[in-house]
Every structure is written in C-alpha cells, then in structure tokens.
Amino acid sequence: MTNASTAVRGFGPVFVFLFGLQFISMGAMEMSGPFWPLQIKGLSPSDSVFGLAGVGVYVGPMLGMSLTSAFWGRMGDRYGNRLMMVRALGGLAVTQLLVAAAQDVWTIMALRFLQGACAGYIAPAQAYAVQITGGKNRASLFAWLQVATNVGSLGGALLGGLILDSFAFAAINLTAGAICALCAGLAWLSLPLPAPGTIAANPGNAGTRPTASTGVPIAVLALMGMLLASRMVMQVPFSMYVTQVFGARHWVAGLTYGLLACGFVVAAPLWARHFENRTPSYVLGGSVLISAACVLVTHLAGSSGSVAVFAFLYFIWGALLGGTTPILLALISGAVTNDRQGSVLGLAHASQQGASASGIIAGVAVTQLFGLDAAFPLVATLYALSFLAALGIWLKLRTPLKQGSRA
C-alpha cells in the first residue's frame, strides 16, 4: 500500500486528486454494471425483448461513446480537457437520474445511448493527465489511471450488489447520479488548467518509445480492440452465469465480478514497470504471451464447477489484463505530441467502445443460441485469435528491425 501511494504521489498532487476522482466516479458508474440483465429481465414483456434490451443496455452507451469520443477529443484539444471531464461527469449525473425514473426497457435503452454520447470521461482524463505530467512514464501513468477505474469497479460492483439486496434497482442509479454530480463540481473547482509549457511538450519520455511508423499504432489499436472484445463477451451473461451455474447470491456475483478489477489493480503497476521504456517489439512480444495465457485461464474458468475456483481464475484473468490496454495505449499515445492527446486518445477510446460492443453482441448471441455453457468457449476462442494477431504484428515489426540491423 505504501509503495502504491508513493507511486501515485510521484506524478504530483494534481494527479493524486485526479486518481481519486476517477476512482469515485467510475466506481459509481460500475455499481449497476453486473446487474442490468436482472433489471431488464423484470421489465421485459417477452424473452425476445429481453434478448434485444439485454444487449442494448450495454451496447447503447458504447455506441454513443464510439460516435462522439473522437469529436469530444478534438474539443478537448481546442477548449481544454478539464472542461471535457466536467462535461462528461455532468452528463453522467443527469442521465443516471433520468434512468432511475425510467420504467420501460425502451426508455432505458434510449437514455443509456444518450449517456454514452454525453459522457466519455476516461479519454479526456487520460489526456489531461499526460498534459499535467508532461508525458513522463506514460505506461505507468495509464496503468495507474486504470487502476483507479478498476478499484472503483471492485467497490462499485460490491456496493451495487448490497444495495440491490436491500432496495429497488433505482436506488443504484440515484446514488450513482448524486456521486457523479459531486465529482463534476469538485473537478471544476479543484483541477487546475495545465501550464502552457506542458501542453505542447514533446513525448520524449513517454513511458514506451514513440514509434517511427504510423502503421504500428494502427496495428496496436486493432490488437487492443480484439483483446477488449474477448474480455467483454461475459459482460451481459456474467451475473446470470454466476447465479444460475453456481447458485450464488447477488453479492457473490458482484464480488466475483469485481475480482477481475482486483487482479488488474494488483498487476497493472507491475506490468507498467516491466514494460516502461521498452521498444514496441518487446511490448508486442509480451502481448503474445499474455494473450496465450488468457486462452488457458478462460478455458479453465469455463470448465470449473466451483465458485471459489472460478473466482480465483477471474482474479488471475484480471491480472493478465493489466498488461494489455494501458501498455498498448501508451504505445499509441507516445506516437503524438501532448497537444494532440485529446484527439488520439478520443479516437482510441471510440475504437475501444466499438470493439467492446462487438464482444457484448457476440456474447449475447452465442449464449442465447447455445446457452450459458457456451460463453467461456467463445471467450477462449477470441483470445486465441488475439494471440494469432499479436504474433503476426510482432513478427511483422521484427522483420524490418532485422533488415535494418543487417543494412
């Protein structure tokens, strides 16, 4: 704990506040994450409506973010990423309060899409963090910001389960809306504008070395999308899988769901330290091994008949994920100057949301057609494809390096 506190403080007091803000606000949004299928199931008049709405309630905000994140990123470069953070938190607060009052699935889906279109907090927060730190140790920077998100996910999912065991589902949305409103006010009042000298800083010490070719960031973006799609297959069926396959209570489902985030929290800073200042070839070689490990872990999770073993494997899966998105995102971010971080991270965030939506749709389609038992075989298969993609990118990247060394 002391080492973690020291690492976060090492980026400066503003980053400490930003870390706390992301932890609280993203935790509030994750309170309802595992339990939407249960709410939608109760409001759906038929199984066909539930099948559509069960996908839409997750995919809707992702589509909204994928359509608007690049635009909000450009607005962040032009008018300031701090303003975009406040705008996003305000949008989350208003839409959460509206969702709490909604009593039919179609209204909920429309509000969830609007929520995504108005939100997009993470990308401007990442761009703002790069600006206030001057872009130093970028892999660790992104890792710690995602640690904040995942610690919030762990606490939020557990708190959401406890609320749902005692109150109506609307209580989760009301609580989340109030927290996001408070965070918006704190962000506006407490976060300083980045110093002009840091905004146009050269990437230089970007955590991972900037790439010389634009093809590498595009390939890395595609790989990151494949890994996210694999991860998101279980988003919709997760709570039903745990409660039906293992007969567990809601709070157990929420805790197990949060263990993925817990594993990420433990491992992400270690992965970031390991990959800091490494070449793209080295980072992508690591991605090959991590993808292969994800294939094995998710296969074992789908074969487990014990909720305790399943929860442990979920933790290991989260630990492996700590070496994926923040590390790959650092490669992409390190390829551009700090005054363009909003645009490039907004584009990356939009791509991530599109990939996540694809994973969710695939997960729902397969489980609706073949049952819950088909969920984890699909996850393992998608990770196998990610492994092949990572291997291909790594080999392609190494070839010019070897040719250059011979020349």
Alpha carbons 46 and 363: distance in angstroms, whole number: 20
pLDDT for residue 8 = 60
Alpha carbons 70 and 329: distance in angstroms, whole number: 15
pLDDT for residue 211 = 40
Q: How many domains does the chain have?
A: 1
pLDDT for residue 11 = 65
Q: Say which amino acid occupies 291.
A: S
Phi and psi based region of residue 277 (left: phi greater than 0; alpha: psi -120 to 50; beta: remaining): left
In 70-114, beta strands by DSSP E: none
* Residue 37: count of CB within 10 angstroms of its CB: 23
Question: Residue 248's closest CA among 34, 19, 13, 27?
Answer: 34
Q: Is 367 exposed, middle or buried (0-12, 13-18, 19+ CB in 10 A)?
A: buried
Q: Using N-to-C axis directions, what is the helix angle for 375-406 and 341-370, rounded to 10°?
A: 140
Q: Which two tokens stand for residue 251?
A: 């709070």
| Domain with 178 in it | 2-406
CB under 8 Å to 4, separation ≥6 — which residues? 269
Cα distances (angstroms) measured from residue 312 to each of 156, 187, 266, 317: 19, 36, 14, 9
pLDDT for residue 160 = 86
Cα distances (angstroms) measured from residue 361 to each of 112, 303, 357: 16, 23, 6
* Residue 322: count of CB within 10 angstroms of its CB: 25
* Residue 377: count of CB within 10 angstroms of its CB: 15
Alpha carbons 222 and 228: distance in angstroms, whole number: 10
Alpha carbons 187 and 189: distance in angstroms, whole number: 6
CATH of residue 44's domain is 1.20.1250.20
The secondary structure of residue 374, as a DSSP letter, is G
Alpha carbons 344 and 124: distance in angstroms, whole number: 10
- pLDDT per residue of the chain (407 residues) written in tens, 0 to 9: 555 555 566 667 888 888 889 889 888 888 887 788 788 888 888 878 887 887 788 888 888 888 888 888 888 888 888 999 999 999 999 999 999 988 888 999 999 999 988 887 888 888 888 888 776 777 788 888 888 887 787 778 788 888 888 888 889 999 999 999 999 999 999 888 876 655 444 444 444 444 434 445 788 888 999 999 999 999 878 888 888 888 777 778 878 877 887 888 889 889 988 888 788 888 889 999 999 999 999 999 988 888 899 999 999 999 999 999 888 888 887 766 666 777 777 778 888 888 888 898 899 889 888 988 899 999 999 999 999 999 998 888 776 545 444 44
* Residue 16: count of CB within 10 angstroms of its CB: 14
DSSP conformation letters of 188-212: HHHPPPPPHHHHT---SS-SSPPPS
pLDDT for residue 42 = 83
User: What pTM, to 2 d.p., does this model score?
Assistant: 0.75
